Amino acid sequence: MIQQVATAFAREDYRTAAKLIKQLLKQSPENPWVQFYLGKLQEVSGKHQDAEKMYMQLLRSTNNSKILAQARQGVQRLQDIKQAGTQQAIAQVKSQPGNAEVAVLVLEPVSREIKTQVAPKFAQIMQRDPYNARLTIPSRGWRLYRSAGIEELQFYGKQLKNAGIPCFWVKLSDIKQIPVFQVCYFTKSEDYPGERLIACLNPLLAAERKKNREELLQAREKELDKIVAATSRKARPLKGEDNIGVRVGKVINKFNVEKHFIIEIQENSFSYQRNQSKIDAEAVLDGFYIIISTSLDEETLSATDTVKAEKNLSQVEQAFRSYKTVDLKVRSIYHYTAERVKAHIDVCYLIMM
């Protein structure tokens, strides 16, 4: 009957093939040939996702060389169809009048565990290899990934969000209206002779830290409320300053929030309140950070230019990433003398030039 199915596919008689496959699935559903032709039927029926899943399952489970070869061909066909559809959709998006305005696509950070899960999806959407995709997805801080027309980036961004990859896109005209940093230059510092200290204020960073602090405090208050409830319950209440102190210590020491709370522990009770004065004192520094420069001549390198140079360090990191992993794939080399380290850095610099 398998031969009859093959003949039906050769004649493009998919109705007959479907009837035969239905019978074979009842008789021998584990037969790899039956599974292959089921995937092929799903492919010609337009159920590409189910077909690809069946082909990939066969590539993992069977040792039959003929089935493996045809399953690989099936996967390649589906990938070509998907790529052609994506290119067509992108071409339509690019042709829209609203796409003329330039925008940027920014990737938001994810945890290492989630990065491992979403990297294959990112590679598939952006047509990158999985290893490079995993390096591209940030773990800390935003990453400017691509600049293009707003409609094109919106097309990619929606697919990334549907795949569970946090991102956002914004027009350059809107970015120019955002105050990224404010610079105040200190002319000298006795604690740092021969260096300039540049204090920067990022309002967006300040807002983010304020939000994170409040979320952290609320989360710890929930844990502390459990201890308060444990000391006041009727059945087997938590008693003893030592026992209560151990429970409280696990909460405040784990997240280093002891300075944010005023703790009062008694023999049979426990209470707490926020130390608002210390919280306010810490909040004053939100958004500030210091850049130290050894260039003392402000005319040669102004405070603003120094900050811009520090922001552009990501380009240097990207160059080394390209040198070590994606493009050149130079293996790790370990040196133990200063001369060899300098020589190796010079070689790396020349290669990247």
The helix/strand/coil state of 331 is coil
Of 106, 316, 48, 111, nearest to 119 (Cα)? 111
Query: pLDDT of the chain along its 353 residues, tens only?
Result: 778 878 887 888 888 888 888 888 888 888 888 888 888 888 888 888 888 888 888 888 888 888 888 888 888 888 788 777 767 766 766 666 655 678 888 888 888 788 888 888 888 888 777 777 888 888 877 888 888 788 788 888 888 998 889 988 888 777 767 655 555 555 555 666 777 777 788 888 888 889 988 988 888 889 899 999 999 888 889 988 888 888 888 888 776 777 888 889 888 889 999 988 888 888 888 888 787 777 767 677 777 777 777 777 766 777 776 666 656 666 667 888 888 888 887 877 776 66
d(CA 169, CA 12): 45
Structural domain span for residue 148: 97-175
The domain total for the chain is 4
Do β-strands 167-171 and 182-186 pair in parallel, antiparallel, or remain unpaired?
unpaired
Tell whether 307 is covered by a domain: no
Same domain, 82 and 139: no
Same domain, 80 and 27: yes
The helix/strand/coil state of 147 is strand
Tell whether 190 is covered by a domain: no
Which amino acid is it at 299? E
Distances (CA, A) of 21 to 10, 33, 63, 73: 15, 10, 21, 20
Of 150, 154, 156, nearest to 99 (Cα)? 150
Same domain, 86 and 160: no
Contact assessment for residue 137 and residue 119, using Cβ atoms and an 8 Å cutoff: yes
Same domain, 277 and 210: yes
Contact assessment for residue 181 and residue 200, using Cβ atoms and an 8 Å cutoff: yes
Q: Which residues pair with 143 in a beta bridge?
A: 107
Same domain, 83 and 119: no
Mark out the alpha helices in 257-300 (DSSP H runs): 276-283
Same domain, 83 and 108: no
